[in-house]
């Protein structure tokens, strides 16, 4: 038998700082606070009550009235903002509903701004995919290809419509070359220099967007691989981010988050503006499905997921758990 008195005992014991919850809280390197969270919300034209989204348990398509209640709750919880997505009753080839001042998204912006004032950053998706009958993020050529430069002109109009509705921050998300520069120039030229730009800079052609397609009633046939990034490329993601910063982006974003935490870290190290990451629909749905089957502890998984995104370097996290997470972290 070994003589225990002869064993060398460690003098450096990292476990000391893990001994109690209070110690662990005190030395935690990463914190998730409500102000770092943004709640994506969907508002559907022509409905009186919220409609559940089957692939995203707990998430709904809001009516205009229920949207205002959700925004007021987000403000009360101290969230950083809400990101608005509109779902129109009618779509067309040019996505005209996204530019129409009476379109569902622009009306929703005005509703939410009137409800919460400056207690909450009101953000809006600046993209055509929810409004086009073909489901692409831009205008199409006669042979069905996305026309980058004609799309930029539409984005400029959409930015002006959202600014006129009262938005605080626009989120160009279509991954068109030059989109940030065009949006920034349009806003500044029309006297909206106060409106910020959250650029979807490194947005990947991900398999995890599936539930979002139901959430916005997407009409897409095919894919978006000619404009969204190849999941194999990280260096390219940083290049896209640097281009957007050069063009005037106030915040840059990596989307999705969990499969691209390495890109989040690279981006955080490369830029001196805030970095956002979008914890997307498929990431949300996987946790919810596993928890519903009893395979994981749901609340612990939510907290760990959001902490990991912050730990990777995201200053801002867009997540469908934002309101719930604010309550969980408050514990």
Catalytic residues: 203, 255
For residue 260, the 8-state DSSP code is G
Residue 202: which of 139, 254, 275 has the closest Cα? 254
Q: In this structure, are strands 81-87 and 51-52 parallel, antiparallel, or unpaired?
A: unpaired
List of residues 6+ apart from 137 with CB closer than 8 A: 127, 128, 129, 146, 151, 173, 174, 175, 176, 224, 227
Three-class SS state of 218: coil
How many alpha carbons fall within 13 Å on the CB side of residue 278?
A: 27
Write down the residue that tokens 């279509």 correspond to: 174
Residue 171: which of 244, 270, 258, 89 has the closest Cα? 244
Q: Report the 10 Å Cβ neighbour count for 220.
A: 15
166-197 burial, b if ≥16 CB within 10 A, otherwise e? bbbbbbbbbbbeebbbbbbebbeeeebeebbb
CB 85 within 8 A of CB 126: no
CB 152 within 8 A of CB 182: yes
For residue 230, the 8-state DSSP code is P
Q: In this structure, are strands 51-52 and 121-126 parallel, antiparallel, or unpaired?
A: unpaired
Three-class SS state of 134: coil
Residue 224: which of 136, 106, 107 has the closest Cα? 136
List of residues 6+ apart from 14 with CB closer than 8 A: none
């Amino acid at each position: 038998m070994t003589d225990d008195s002869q064993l060398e005992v460690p003098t450096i014991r990292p476990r000391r700082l893990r001994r109690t919850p209070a110690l662990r809280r005190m030395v935690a390197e990463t914190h998730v606070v409500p102000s770092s969270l943004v709640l994506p919300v969907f508002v559907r034209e022509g409905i009186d009550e919220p409609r559940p989204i089957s692939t995203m348990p707990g998430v709904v398509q809001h009516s205009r009235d229920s949207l205002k209640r959700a925004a007021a709750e987000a403000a009360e919880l101290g969230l950083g903002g809400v990101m608005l997505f509109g779902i129109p009753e009618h779509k067309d080839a040019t996505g005209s509903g996204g530019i129409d001042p009476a379109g569902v998204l622009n009306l929703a912006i005005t509703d939410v701004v009137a409800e919460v004032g400056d207690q909450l950053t009101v953000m809006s998706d600046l993209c055509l995919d929810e409004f086009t009958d073909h489901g692409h993020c831009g205008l199409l050529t006669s042979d069905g290809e996305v026309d980058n430069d004609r799309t930029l002109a539409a984005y400029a109009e959409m930015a002006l419509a959202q600014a006129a509705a009262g938005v605080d921050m626009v989120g160009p998300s279509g991954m068109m070359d030059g989109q940030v520069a065009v949006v920034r120039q349009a806003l500044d030229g029309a006297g909206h220099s106060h409106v910020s730009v959250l650029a979807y800079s490194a947005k990947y052609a991900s398999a995890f967007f599936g539930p979002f397609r139901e959430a916005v009633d997407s009409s897409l046939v095919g894919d978006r691989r000619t404009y969204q990034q190849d999941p194999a490329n990280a260096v390219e993601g940083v290049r896209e981010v640097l281009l957007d910063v050069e063009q005037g982006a106030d915040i840059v974003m990596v989307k999705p988050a969990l499969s691209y935490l390495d890109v989040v870290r690279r981006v955080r190290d490369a830029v001196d503006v805030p970095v956002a990451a979008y914890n997307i629909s498929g990431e949300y749905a996987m946790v919810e499905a596993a928890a519903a089957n009893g395979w994981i502890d749901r609340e612990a998984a939510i907290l760990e997921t959001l902490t990991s995104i912050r730990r990777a370097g995201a200053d801002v996290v867009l997540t469908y758990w934002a309101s719930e997470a604010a309550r969980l972290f408050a514990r």
